[in-house]
Amino acid sequence: MAKRLTDFLIKLSTDSHSLEQFETDPAGTMDAAGLSATERKAVLSRNPNALRKELGQPHVSHMTDEKKKTAKKKKKTAKKKAAKKK
């Protein structure tokens, strides 16, 4: 795993001073963090896909919700019953 890049991104997100430093001197902060040439390029591109590639992460967003049929089925039977009664 890209440990240096990971630590660098964690630092920027936990410490607003580091983020400010990065904004004023990107090259210097990336030097200090020991990032490789391709990692620097990915950071400077500010493109999440380029960063993800360096981090070895596929494009995954864990879905935590799903629509199910159950509610609909119940309604249908209720409607059918109502129609029969008529």
Binding mask 49-68 for other proteins (x = CB under 8 A): --xx--xxxxxxxxxxxxxx
61 CB contacts (<8 Å, ≥6 apart)? none
Q: How far is CA 80 from CA 14, 28, 62, 71, 72, in A?
A: 58, 71, 38, 15, 12
The binding track of 23-52 with respect to other proteins, each residue x by CB under 8 A or -, is --------------------x--xxx--xx
Interaction between residue 65 and ligand SAM (CB under 6 A): yes
**Which CB sits closer to other proteins, 71 or 82?**
71
User: Which residue's CB atom is positioned nearest to ligand SAM?
Assistant: 64
44 within 8 A of 52, measured Cβ to Cβ: no
| Tokens 């390029």 belong to residue | 41
Point out which residues bind ligand SAM (CB under 6 A). Answer: 61, 63-65
